Structure 1
Amino acid sequence: MVGAAAAGDVARFNTLYGELLQRYWRPAVTINGVETTVFDYAAMQREAGPLMDDIADTLEAIDPAAIEDPDERKAFWINVYNFTAMRMVIDAYPVDSITSFKISLIKHPWSKDAIKVGGRDYSLSEIEKEVLLQRFDDPRIIFAVSCAAVSCPDRSAEPFAGERLDARLDELIRTFFRNPAKGLSLNRQTNTLTLAWILEKDDYLFEEYPDGVLGFVKPYLDAGQRAWLETHPARLDYFDHDWTLNDLAQADGR
């Protein structure tokens, strides 16, 4: 539930952000040999300035503390993170990565104050680490927040919503692990399980799982993969993270 004072602004944010996604989201293409959903950032940069300004103005007026339901609050902050990453890209576009010097001279955009919510400045790092992960204690969040990179889990054409959030997060992870170029690849000949870099980067989130990262991953695998891993001691490896922008203009062959 959302408190009455915030309900209108949150609904407006969801509507406007949903419109932005639906206009510029594109189905999966291949970039650097990796299949990934993309956005038409060139068209977004040309056309969506007023819409993005409306979204930012709406966020500035929202009091997040008035969002009472935990799943709605979690979904709200995931959407804020993903919108903010896109806004940072568009403010500097054309760029080929969110790590571009045009966005941050130290190539670390996560520490920059990048969005106002409820009149307060937030960086991407603060939203992910201090708001989402600390307050909700849900490691699945790292699969939902996207730095607009090829190696990140695929984005969809609709915002996250509190309703059915658990089911959507689980399906997002299952889909990601079915992508053998960036999510998960099991090589039975070498007994090697290669996983997304984000699982290595944030491995502390899985310390309480039996078998750590592997204990988190197993429930999301198909039955054959799970059965094989139960009887074979797999060596964990991780994909290199491709920071190339998930941009339609970067598609292979364009």
Structure 2
Amino acid sequence: MKYLLALLISTAPFLIKAQPSHDNFDILLKKHVNTQGGVNYKAFKSDEQKLNTYLDVMKQNSPTNSWNDNEKLTYWINVYNALTIQLILKYYPVKSIKDIGSSIQIPYVNTPWDIKCFEIDGEELSLNNIEHGIIRKDFEEPRIHFALVCAAVSCPKLLNEAYEANRLDVQLTAQTKSFLANTSKNKISTDRLELSKIFNWYGGDFRKNGTLVDFLNQYTTVEIDKKAKTSFMDYDWALNEQ
């Protein structure tokens, strides 16, 4: 018995906590989100409890040091998008996510992204905490800006499947290319760029390994000149509803 106890203690640091499955979120996304990223929030309301249950499972299975970066980032992207949908469903019908926290009075909250909505390891987190305090802080991955979706028309499209750690790079690249190719959100030519304000708001994230043009040229079919004139398009905050 003493030998067995000693063995368990000695091997404890190497025990790996199982990662939670994102399959249930994947099922909901396939059911309620179309290929253009439009969300059928009215129908999604009938599955609101299933979404809540998925997020409860995520709360109980937070990332550990045994997870690699792709596994951690996959967890946080899926959680962020699920929480955004949960927020919309809670106040649905709304015309815009920006109506939450302003016309709907919530004490001590300035924006919907400041609402504490996810308790993990004893800490209450908001969408801002997750995006800026965890994802942007811990992962130098600019493509996350095309995966995190804030429920607005001008956002990148919500992927109608959950992100998976073993396919994360492929999914992020596909999302980036899709967003840049969408002429309602970006107009790209050799000498002129009319870009989403995402590239203005988070400009530094796209310049960590070169210029903005260097980043864009990795994911566009157009070879952009380094001296291309750049402007930013208006952002449409209307709900990304089907």
TM-score, scaled to structure 1? 0.81
Choose between structure 1 and 2: higher strand proportion: 1
Please tell me the residue identity of whatever aligns with 1:180.
T
Compared with structure 1, are the counterparts of its residues 26 and 103 closer, same or farther at alpha carbon in structure 2 (3 Å cutoff)?
farther
Shift of the 244–67 alpha-carbon distance from structure 1 to 2, 3 Å rule, reads: farther
The equivalent residue for 2:12 is none
Percent identity over the alignment?
Answer: 27
Structure 1 pair 62–154 and aligned structure 2 pair: CA distance change class (3 A)? same
Q: Does structure 2 retain, via aligned residues, the 8 Å contact 1:103–1:109?
A: no
Aligned to 1:5: 17
Matched residue type, 1:237: S
Deviations 1:141-200 (A, max 9, x none): 111101011111112221111112112211111111111111x21356xx4211111111
Instruction: Determine if contact 1:197/1:239 at 8 Å carries over to the other structure.
Output: yes
Matches of residues 170-189 of structure 1 in structure 2 within 5 Å?
170-182=173-185, 184-186=186-188
The structure-2 alpha-carbon separation of the partners of 1:19 and 1:90, relative to structure 1 and needing over 3 Å to count, comes to same
Q: Which runs of 5+ in 1 are unaligned?
A: 29-36, 249-254
- 1:204 & 1:216 partners in 2: Cα distance? 11
CA 1:144–1:23 in 2, change beyond 3 Å: closer, same or farther?
Answer: same
> 2:83 — aligned with what?
84
Whether contact under 8 Å (1:95, 1:102) holds in the other structure is: no
Aligned length: 224
Partner residue of 1:22?
Answer: 30
2:133 match: secondary structure: helix
Report deviation, 1:39: 0.9
Does the 8 Å CA contact 2:35/2:160 hold for their aligned counterparts?
Answer: no
Check the 8 A contact 1:92/1:102 in 2, yes or no: no
CA distance in 1, matches of 2:167, 2:159: 15
1:208 maps to 2:208: yes
Q: Which amino acid aligns with 1:71?
A: N
Q: CA deviation at 1:110?
A: 1.1
Distance in 2, Cα, partners of 1:241 & 1:125: 19
Q: CA deviation at 1:4?
A: 4.1
The aligned amino acid for 1:53 is N
CA contact (8 A) 1:59 1:118 kept: no
User: Which of 117, 139, 157 pairs up with 2:142?
Assistant: 139
Contact kept, 8 Å, 1:84 with 1:114, in 2: the verdict is yes
Match of 2:57 in 1: 58
Which of 223, 226, 238 is the aligned partner of 1:244?
Answer: 238
Which residue of structure 2 lines up, in the alignment, with residue 197 of structure 1?
Answer: 197
Q: Tell me: CA distance 1:208–1:156, structure 2 relative to 1, closer, same or farther (3 Å).
A: closer
Q: In the superposition, relative to structure 1, how do residues 40 and 213 fare at CA in structure 2: closer, same or farther (>3 Å)?
A: same
Where do 1:143-182 residues align within 5 Å? 143-182=146-185
Q: What SS is found at the alignment partner of 1:48?
A: helix
TM-score normalised per structure 2: 0.85
Cα deviation for residue 139 of structure 1 reads 1.1
Q: Which amino acid is the alignment partner of residue 123 of structure 1?
A: S
Amino acid aligned to 1:185: K
- Alpha-carbon distance in structure 1 between the residues aligned to 2:111 and 2:207: 26
Amino acid at match of 1:186: I
Residue in 1 aligned with 2:92? 93
Q: Write the letter of the residue equivalent to 1:142.
A: H
- Name 1:112's counterpart in structure 2: 115
**Equivalent residue for 2:7?**
none
CA deviation profile, 1:6-35 (whole Å, cap 9, x unmatched): 43xx11xx022112112211233xxxxxxx
Which has the higher Rg, Structure 1 or Structure 2?
Answer: 2
